[in-house]
Amino acid sequence: MKKVYLGLFAVLFAFNAQAFDLAGSLNKAAAKVDSATQKVEATKAENEAKKAEQAAAIEAKKAEVEKAVADKKAEVEAKVAEQQAESEAKKAEQEAAVENVKNSLDGLKDALTK
């Protein structure tokens, strides 16, 4: 009977050892899968951070360009307004000169007719 118990004990011990070996292998495989998953997640997070950084850089450049365009537009509008003011001043000056010439001609005409 002792031999049967010893044989049964040996079989259970061998089965238990194989189960522990299988569990250890499964734990190693699970650890590798977890490691790979962590690497993939880290890569995804890094890519998302790069995308966000690039988007921020693009928005900053876009704002810079829009500001430059607005500044240039304001500068052009100021020059146009200045040119219009100069044109109006010249026009008023010419009209005053023409009116002065008319008055002089009218005065000369009156002087000659008397």
pLDDT (tens digit, 0 to 9) for every residue of the chain, 114 residues total? 666 666 665 555 555 556 556 667 777 888 888 899 999 999 999 999 999 999 999 999 999 999 999 999 999 999 999 999 999 999 999 999 999 988 888 887 777 776
On whether residue 34 sits in a domain, the answer given is: yes
pLDDT confidence of residue 19:
55
On whether residue 113 sits in a domain, the answer given is: no
On whether residue 30 sits in a domain, the answer given is: yes
Distance CA(25)–CA(46), nearest Å, equals 31
On whether residue 98 sits in a domain, the answer given is: no
Distance CA(74)–CA(89), nearest Å, equals 22
On whether residue 111 sits in a domain, the answer given is: no
Domain that holds residue 67: 1-84
CA distances from 28 to 8, 20, 22, 24, 33 (A): 30, 12, 10, 6, 9
The number of domains in the chain is 1
On whether residue 41 sits in a domain, the answer given is: yes
On whether residue 101 sits in a domain, the answer given is: no
Spatial CA neighbour of 20 closest among 32, 12, 31, 10: 12
